Amino acid sequence: MITIAMIGKVKRMYFREKKSIREIVRLTSLSRNTGRKWLKAAVVEELRYRHSAAPAKLTPFHESLKLALKGDAHRPRHERRTARALHSQMQAEGYGGGFSRVTDFVCVRRTPANPS
């Protein structure tokens, strides 16, 4: 898989550290063709990771989930709703996303280090 970090590493090794293509290929386990192609490619603009701006399916339900977790925080541990119960409640409200997204959100919010 091509990563921006790997392209940067290859270019740094060649231009700053003055290593040969053969050395770079040996150290990085890339093919010679790939190493040459990356070195010949002109960088028009600074390399950046792509970030998608599309909102997730869970985004409209953040507030209702936060309120549910805040209410559950005052209950004894065995009386709190599970992530599965929260997921089925949200499905009844119209959530069409997956269960794992809900569990990720719940795990982050329930940790004591992150009270938000």
Instruction: Check residue 39 and give its pLDDT.
Output: 86
Question: What are the extents of the domains in the chain?
Answer: 4-40, 59-110
Instruction: Check residue 56 and give its pLDDT.
Output: 85
CB neighbourhood size of 52 (10 A) = 6
Closest by CA to 70, choosing from 33, 101, 106, 27, is 106
Quick one: CA dihedral 68, 73, 75, 78, positive or negative? Answer: positive
Mean pLDDT, 10 residues at a time, the chain of 116 residues: 78 91 91 88 64 81 93 91 94 93 90 62
Instruction: Check residue 33 and give its pLDDT.
Output: 92
* Phi, psi values for residue 76, rounded to 5°: -65, 155
d(CA 23, CA 45): 27
Q: Per the confidence metrics, is the pTM higher than 0.75?
A: no
